[in-house]
């Protein structure tokens, strides 16, 4: 879409005079008070148009000098070096923008949406400074060949989308087993063994599908249990993550860790 050109003070005055004459149905006399007023308005509006144009075209590198160039660099988190000339600084900013356009975070994450060998691949930019990133790859299973396939797949996807100058580290999150101690009471007519089996499957599905950088919530586990048919009472008594008991009701699964359901120690109805 072509941007409208900046109006000059003469053009603004001409357009304003035309609009005025159409409104009053008469010709405006040159040199009259109204004509002089429109001329003054035209002069002022020219500066407004110029400022609007300056702000809508910050990408026009040739127009960036001095403070405006510095402001652009601050916006890109790439400040000017000591005693660096406008010419060198402008060229360095242009190269940075060109190199990083291909590394757009949204484009890379879109490409990683449906991997074949991974349940999730999380791309995090600037983990070790500008021009770096980390990919946290969660294989669907943790066999040796499955891990290798997941890493190769992630690398191929990112390299097709990202700039060649981008340094990417690929990490398989550390497995952290999750154990629960749960009190369960069921209706007399119900079979506790069947209900425990059903609940274990649902809790396993919930834990194993917690997204990277999301929380394991004890309240959600309790909700799963309470909503199960024929359950009279259900309560998570304790949670153990990677062999350590936690009192937290919301446990963060960091990008470099992966929660996997281990077991449930049941108490209550037998």
**Could you state, in order of their start, the residue ranges of all structural domains in the chain?**
9-99, 105-171, 174-268
Q: Give, in order, the Cα–Cα distances in Å from 133 to each of 65, 159, 167.
A: 31, 12, 6
Sign of CA dihedral 79, 84, 90, 93: negative
Q: Is pTM, for the whole model, over 0.85?
A: no
- Angle, helices 9-24/33-56, rounded to nearest 10 degrees: 130
DSSP code at position 201: H
Q: Give percent of the chain with pLDDT exceeding 70.
A: 80
Q: What is the mean pLDDT of residues 12-25?
A: 73
105-171 under CATH 3.30.70, yes or no: no
pLDDT, average across residues 234-239: 96
The secondary structure element, H or E, covering residue 251 is strand 250-253
Answer yes or no: are the C-beta atoms of 181 and 238 closer than 8 Å: yes
Task: Give 58 or 62, the one with higher predicted confidence.
Answer: 62
**Do residues 167 and 103 make contact, with C-beta atoms less than 8 angstroms apart?**
no
Q: Comparing 30-34, 56-60, 144-148, which segment has the lowest mean pLDDT?
A: 56-60
More confident residue, 127 or 227: 227
Q: What mean pLDDT value characterizes the chain?
A: 83
Average pLDDT rounded to a whole number, residues 66-72 = 84
Distance in angstroms (rounded) separating the CA atoms of residues 223 and 90 = 57
How far is it, in rounded angstroms, from Cα 76 to Cα 59? Answer: 12
């Amino acid at each position: 879409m072509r941007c409208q050109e900046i109006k000059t003070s003469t053009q603004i005055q001409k357009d304003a005079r035309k609009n005025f004459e159409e409104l009053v149905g008469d010709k405006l006399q040159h040199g009259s008070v109204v004509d002089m007023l429109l001329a003054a308005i035209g002069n002022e509006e020219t500066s407004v148009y110029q400022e609007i144009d300056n702000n809508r075209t910050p990408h026009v590198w040739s127009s960036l000098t001095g403070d405006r160039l510095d402001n652009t660099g601050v916006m890109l988190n790439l400040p000017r070096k000591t005693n660096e000339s406008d010419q060198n600084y402008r060229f360095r900013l242009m190269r940075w923008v060109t190199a990083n356009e291909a590394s757009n975070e949204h484009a890379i994450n879109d490409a990683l949406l449906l991997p074949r060998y991974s349940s999730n691949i999380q791309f995090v930019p600037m983990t070790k400074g500008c021009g770096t990133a980390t990919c946290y790859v969660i294989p669907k299973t943790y066999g040796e060949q499955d891990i290798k396939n997941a890493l190769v797949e992630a690398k191929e996807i990112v390299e097709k989308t990202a700039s060649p100058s981008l340094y990417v580290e690929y990490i398989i999150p550390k497995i952290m087993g999750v154990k629960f101690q749960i009190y369960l009471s069921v209706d007399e007519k119900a079979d506790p063994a069947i209900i425990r089996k059903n609940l274990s499957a649902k809790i396993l599905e919930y834990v194993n599908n917690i997204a990277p950088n999301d929380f394991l919530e004890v309240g959600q586990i309790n909700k799963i249990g309470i909503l199960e048919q024929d359950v009279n009472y259900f309560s998570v008594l304790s949670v153990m993550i990677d062999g350590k008991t936690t009192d937290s009701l919301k446990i963060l699964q960091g990008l470099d860790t992966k929660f996997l359901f281990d077991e449930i120690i049941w108490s209550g109805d037998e």
